[in-house]
Chains A and B, each alone.
Chain A
Amino acid sequence: DTEVTQTPKHLVMGMTNKKSLKCEQHMGHRAMYWYKQKAKKPPELMFVYSYEKLSINESVPSRFSPECPNSSLLNLHLHALQPEDSALYLCASRSPGTGDRNTIYFGEGSWLTVV
C-alpha cells in the first residue's frame, strides 16, 4: 500500500466551482509533487515543492493553484476549470539524499471530472 494518501478519490465539479485536492505523507519526505495524467498517457509534471517552497512550475495555467501548508501536506486548489482538465491527478513525494532514497512514491490519485 502506498504511504502517500490522496483525497478525494473521485471529484466531479462544474466549470464555475472551486474545489481542492489534498495529499498527505508521513515519511518525512521534503519534496512533493503534483502530476496530471490523461488516459493512456504518461504522468506530466505540474509542480514541485522542495522544503515547502515551490521549486518547479511547469507553466501550469493559473486556474491550478498549489499550496504546501507544511512538510506533510500538499494541496491543489482548482478554480474555473475546463472539461479538458479532466484527468487523474497524482501526488508524489521523495526523500532527500542519494541512491535508492531518491525513490519517488506516488499516491493512488484523484480522478477529476469537469462538467
Chain B
Amino acid sequence: SQKIEQNSEALNIQEGKTATLTCNYTNYSPAYLQWYRQDPGRGPVFLLLIRENEKEKRKERLKVTFDTTLKQSLFHITASQPADSATYLCALGMEYGNKLVFGAGTILRVKS
C-alpha cells in the first residue's frame, strides 16, 4: 500500500540547534516533493519544493534533500528559534493530475 511517514509525532529541540525532520514514502513515484509549515487553525504555508532530479535545495535557514533511491526527504532548520515551532508537513507531488498527497506531519517545538 502507499504510505508517507514523517519521523516522530513531535520533535523537541533547544534554540540554536539544527532541527532535522524526515519524510519517507513507499509505493509512490513523485515528480516533486514539497514542505509546508502549518500553525494551529491556519492553512499550510509553502516553504520549499524539490524536484526528483534535484539533490538539495536551500532557502535562508532551510535546507531540503531528496533521495529517490532511499525514497526519503530530509528537512533541516539551522539556528532554530522558538518562532519555528509549528507542524511541518511533507507532500508528494504527482506530475499528472495535479495531485498533492500529504504526510501526517511532525510537530516541532523549539525551546529557549
Contacts and interface: CB of A to CB of B under 8 A. Distances in A.
Interface of A: 2, 4, 31, 33, 41-45, 48, 50, 55-56, 88, 90, 92, 94, 98-100, 102-109, 111
Contacts of B46: 103-106
A2 B43 contact: yes
- Interface band, chain B: 20 to 34
Contacts, number: 63
Contact of A103 (B49, B97, B99, B102): B49
B32 interface: yes
B51 interface: yes
With a 10 A CB-CB cut-off, give which of A43, A90, A108, A111 has the most chain B CB atoms: A43
A109 B43 contact: yes
B93 A43 contact: no
A45 B36 CA distance: 15
B100 A90 contact: no
